[in-house]
Each structure stands twice: as structure tokens, then as C-alpha cells.
Amino acid sequence: MRAYSRVYYRQHREWLLAAQRVYDAAHREVILARKRARRAAARKSRTISGHRTDSAHRRYLLTQEAAQLAALTKMQAAVEAAK
């Protein structure tokens, strides 16, 4: 077995730490991209139905078309009531 010098071990350790920093930065970007995607989805669902989370969408099977139809019928009822 070959004996390595302290310099070799120090350089190897520095290389490993640098590689770990690169990996951590890339991993952080992936995590942030996933968070941004979840926030965008939540923001879109709130604009469609007014619900904060998607649990109402899953529970009541709300879709954009259903929300639009509900809003349209609500507005028609308001217009009829105003006449």
C-alpha cells in the first residue's frame, strides 16, 4: 500500500469540499425551483377558485371550467336580482 503525503490529503480534501459546494449549490437550485413551481401552482389555484390550498380542488373536484360556470351563474343571479 502506498503512503500518501499530508499535502496530497489536504489537496484531496480541498477538492472534495469544492465538489461538495458545487453539488450543494446545484441541489439548492433544484429545491428552490420546486418551491417556485409549488407556489405558482398554489397562486394559480387561488385565482381560479379563491381557495388557498389544493385540498378543496381535490375534495370537490373543482376545475377552472366549473369555477367559471359558478361565477357566471352567480353573476346572472345578481343581474336578475338587480332588475
The predicted-structure confidence for 16-62, as pLDDT tens digits, reads as follows 999 999 999 999 999 888 888 877 765 665 555 565 666 665 666 65
Non-local CB neighbours of 67 within 8 Å, separated by 6+ positions:
48, 49
Torsion of CA 25, 39, 56, 81, to 10 degrees: 180
Domain boundaries, the chain: 6-82
- Residue 45 and residue 35: Cα distance in Å, rounded? 15
- What's the pTM? 0.36
* pLDDT for residue 52: 61
Place of cell 375534495: 59
C-alpha distances in Å from residue 64, one per residue of 2, 29, 45, 53, 72 = 68, 31, 9, 15, 12
